[in-house]
Amino acid sequence: MRRVHGDIGGPAGAERAAQHQPTRESSVGLHGRTRRILWPFMCGIAGKVDTGGSVAADLIESMCAAVEHRGPDSRGQFLDDGVGLGVQRLRVIDLATGDQPIFSEDGSVVVVLNGEIYNYRELRQALVSTGHRFNTESDTEVIVHLYEERGRDCVHALHGMFAFALWDRARRRLLLARDRVGKKPLFYAHRGGSLSFASELQALLQDDSISREIDYEALDDYLFFQYVPAPRTAFRSIRKLPPASTLVFENGRATVERYWRLDYATKRPLRGSGDIAEEVRDALRAAVRRRMIADVPLGALLSGGVDSSAVVAAMAEASAEPIKTFSIGFDEASHDELPFARQVASRFGTDHHELVVRPNAMEVLPTLVRHYGEPFADSSALPTFYLAQLARRHVTVALTGDGGDESFAGYTRYARALQLSRLASNGLVRPAMRVAAPILERITKPRLTRARRAARLLALDAASVYCRQICYFEEAQREALYSDEFAASVRGNSPEAIVRGMWERSTASCHVDRMLEVDVETYLPGDLLVKMDIATMAHSLEARSPFLDHELMELAASLPPDMKLASGQTKAALRSALRGWLPDEILDRPKQGFGVPIADWLRGDLKDYVRDVLLDDATVGRGLFRLDAVSGLIDSHAGGRDESPRIWALLVLELWFREVVDAPPASPAEQRPLAVV
């Protein structure tokens, strides 16, 4: 590991670094003031309600043990007639009164929480004024009293990231709830008169009464998306509670309701761009400050991109002490963003830490697969896992830049899709391309590759173009890959229909906002937030994401689309807000993304490993894929065509079969991360 200190950042940074004396016990307060705040904590939760029987204490114990890495500091349980709740706690400060479960005054309502309620002090004050009495100083207790006032609608008042389970003893009602964006996960299994829930799949799989039967349609979805979209999981009997949703389980029945969504239809009156820039800046500052209050070491995951750099800028502004920053790099220059991260670290005088990830980091992949619990093929999960491990050596809380792209139109595919949409708006273009595309497909000259791709896309409607941009295996590719048996088992399933349904239900009236809305509903909670949650919680690191502040997201959704994507420039409104605050080199450089040089690794150090796994007799014997199709993908990649996303997806899937499906439920010791390589 290389370490770059904050004193390389010019006079301001040097002054900060000279004052900084890093200790494990130091705390960061707003504007440099050390504050003793009784603050929330990250946890893992689990439990079961059985309307026709009892819940064994040792089952709750084993479910808690399976998520111990999420909260290794203490374990709490509640057992009653036909119900068991469990929680693993990660202390953000050494609370004297905040152990969970938390009860109402008369003990009739009990709750376990994974997450943070940022506005709990305001809520507490209001509840006390109406006669509620509090027994603790924790944020969790406000949920109990809000529920007494509002029932399941209590979630509307909560500002934060959370997944909680609340048991109403008088009504024998279980309430599960998940935060608006889906930052904190929650899985459940409903069968007959019982319902089980947990923060991770492995905890549910501790219960032998929950079937481990595979949902092959979910695997079909996985090969399209690179993750299994909610509400499905890879197991037929287990579901994800979608973001911004509550589940009430009462009298053996479970009802799921959505309580929030972004409004892209209502736009704010147009004002000067300077006013909008100031409003965005102020909203970001407020979101960062809310997430900086802690009495434990706090830092930031810094990629060197616009979003994480903006978070670091706001953190540096709010603190008199140097912010600790953490970055991952690669030997391959095409994927290495360390020079940009160093530039930001220098600008803001941070205490900067770096790690270079090389192909031998792959030895952690089986452990990573077990942590995710179902197939998850975003290859950036690998460096994120190591980045979290690096950060946890120095801090307990880390802020991230997640969510900026999906709110402010940061992906280049948005600009490409908008350009195609405008071209296709000419009524003659699409019919002409439907004729031209098959002709160009028959002409195999390499110089016509871009023309063939453009013709294919211009022949499609907008929803189909979006599907092509985000999918990993298109329909024809999946058909060529699947064995007859696998194809028959998923006949009638359509991952594309998931996207198309959301596209058609969108409240947006323009192309850009429609893409943003579908990404917020799918890619953000299904991929990005899962990746960060699992990677950080595997190391007992709490990740906070200012760009996922729902008020900031609502502000971004209300902006006219041409303020987010202007003349082909992505993130126009955000860049304008950050101009003069971040270096121009950071704001104006092309988006690189937090990618992994998997294509190079699969042609180099990992080429034999991939063949050994994917062409192994055990893999072939599963009967899912045609051997010649898999072998053809590997050969095609070796020959120079980039098939790495598809090969990686198949590799992760097979490792999931070996590490999760074929293996017994992992013990707590087996869940623990490996050392950094």
276 and 169 belong to one structural domain: no
CB 200, CB 234: distance < 8 Å? no
Q: Is 121 exposed, middle or buried (0-12, 13-18, 19+ CB in 10 A)?
A: middle
Asked if residue 461 is part of any domain, the answer here is no
Whether pLDDT at 461 is above 90: no
Query: Which residues are within 8 A (CB) of 412 and not within 5 positions of it... i.e. 6 or more apart?
Result: 570, 590, 591
CATH number, domain containing residue 49: 3.60.20.10
Q: Is 556 exposed, middle or buried (0-12, 13-18, 19+ CB in 10 A)?
A: buried
Whether pLDDT at 30 is above 60: no
297 and 225 belong to one structural domain: no
Q: Over the range 542-552, which residues count as b (16 or more CB within 10 Å of their CB) and which as e? A: bbbbbbbbbeb
307 and 344 belong to one structural domain: yes
241 and 303 belong to one structural domain: no
Asked if residue 554 is part of any domain, the answer here is yes
Asked if residue 30 is part of any domain, the answer here is yes
Model confidence at 248, pLDDT cuts 50, 70, 90, reads very high
How many domains does the chain contain in total? Answer: 2
529 and 575 belong to one structural domain: yes
246 and 338 belong to one structural domain: no
Write down the pTM of the prediction.
0.88
Asked if residue 452 is part of any domain, the answer here is no
85 and 199 belong to one structural domain: yes
198 and 295 belong to one structural domain: no
CB 164, CB 115: distance < 8 Å? yes
State which of 538, 571, 588 marks the end of a domain: 588
Q: Is 43 a catalytic residue?
A: yes
State which of 207, 232, 258 marks the end of a domain: 258
By percentage, how much of the chain surpasses pLDDT 70? 84
Which residue out of 43, 154, 471, 510 is catalytically annotated? 43
Tell me the per-residue pLDDT of 572-603, one tens digit each, with 9 for 90 and over.
999 999 999 999 999 998 876 667 889 999 99
State which of 588, 620, 635 marks the end of a domain: 588
Peptide bond into 561 cis (omega under 30): no
592: alpha, beta or left? (left if phi > 0; alpha if psi -120 to 50): alpha
Beta-strand (E) ranges in 169-323? 173-178, 187-191, 194-198, 239-240, 245-250, 253-258, 298-301
- The owner of tokens 């100031």 is 278
| Confidence (pLDDT) at 330 | 85
249 and 280 belong to one structural domain: no
Tell me the per-residue pLDDT of 217-244, one tens digit each, with 9 for 90 and over.
999 999 999 999 999 999 999 999 999 9
Whether pLDDT at 8 is above 70: no
Asked if residue 594 is part of any domain, the answer here is no
Asked if residue 543 is part of any domain, the answer here is yes
Whether pLDDT at 32 is above 70: no
Asked if residue 459 is part of any domain, the answer here is no
Asked if residue 598 is part of any domain, the answer here is no
CA distance linking residue 606 with residue 652, whole number of Å? 14
Is the Cα torsion angle 454, 456, 460, 466 positive or negative in sign?
negative
CA distance linking residue 452 with residue 672, whole number of Å? 48
CATH number, domain containing residue 539: 3.40.50.620
46 and 30 belong to one structural domain: no
CB 211, CB 196: distance < 8 Å? no
Whether pLDDT at 279 is above 90: yes
379 and 335 belong to one structural domain: yes
Q: Which tokens hold the place of 522?
A: 């799918």
Whether pLDDT at 267 is above 60: yes
Domain with 193 in it: 42-258
| Confidence (pLDDT) at 26 | 25
83 and 180 belong to one structural domain: yes
